[in-house]
Amino acid sequence: MSQLYINLLLGEAACTYINQNLGIIAPNKPDHLEKLQRFNKLVDITNNPFNEPNSYCNMSIPTIKAHVVEKLLSNRDRHDTSTPESKLRSSVALSKQSGIGQCNEMSYIAIDFLSKKQHNFTLKFCEADFMHVFVLIGSTMNNDTKIDLNNPDITTIGADTIICDPWHDRCFSIFTTSGTVNRFFKPQMKEILELCGGGDNILDGYFYAYPTPYQ
């Protein structure tokens, strides 16, 4: 089995863990808020959580979002920022406890989950022009890499590197097994970044890959 295929399987396992096993709710995803309302999933969103049955069913989506955002911001205020690793670990713990997180928190959980797997890969925490965060999984990536969305460089990124985006619940390769750019890479990135508020020329930008605290 190729390393590229292994990386894809690992990325999909991380997305499944976050979105299905943990059921993390992102307040900036309307379908997640609708799920809360529809299935009445109880989340500890305040110091005095709603205990009445059907509480979410009786709330409007904007009200649910306001409460979930409140809890998300409270979680972020409680991060242990003494070291990068303690920040990541505290974020993961709080997100799991509350069931809430956006792309930052989901990426942290993915990194924590994948770091426990015994495989030949490197994990990178990625930012796309300050609009979105996701994870790279690969075996030959350089450090602190700046990646051109329109023209990714295989010598810098590595042939087996994949995008693992738990917020979007999707994984895909940057390159094919023959070394050419995956024809789905640009459309997928464009779709993701547009959902995050990107403009018409979004693929003229870059994303930046940094080592994780576990590297």
**pLDDT value, residue 143:** 67
Can you give the pLDDT at residue 182?
94
72-98 burial code (b ≥16 CB/10 A, e <16): beebbeebeeeeeeebbbbbbbbbbeb
Output the six-digit token pair for 76: 């972020």
**pLDDT given for residue 202 in this prediction:** 65
Q: What is the pLDDT of residue 72?
A: 94
Which class for 22: exposed (0-12), middle (13-18), buried (19 or more C-beta within 10 A)? middle
Find out whether 105 and 24 touch, Cβ atoms under 8 Å. Answer: yes
pLDDT at 50: 44
Which residues neighbour 6 within 8 Å (Cβ) at sequence distance 6 or greater?
119, 121
Gap between the Cα atoms of 56 and 44, Å rounded: 12
| Euclidean distance between CA atoms 36 and 64, whole angstroms | 8
Query: For residue 178, what are the contacts with CB-CB under 8 A and spacing of at least 6?
Result: none
Low-confidence ranges of the chain (pLDDT < 70): 39-55, 129-130, 142-144, 198-203, 214-215
Q: What is the pLDDT of residues 163-210, one digit of tens each?
A: 999 999 999 999 999 999 999 998 898 888 888 776 666 667 778 888
Would you call 160 exposed, middle or buried from its count of C-beta atoms within 10 A (0-12, 13-18, 19+)? Answer: buried
User: Where do the domains of the chain lie?
Assistant: 1-21+118-215, 25-100
Q: Which residue's entry shows tokens 């609009």? A: 131
**Span 66-81, pLDDT tens digits:** 989 999 999 999 999 9
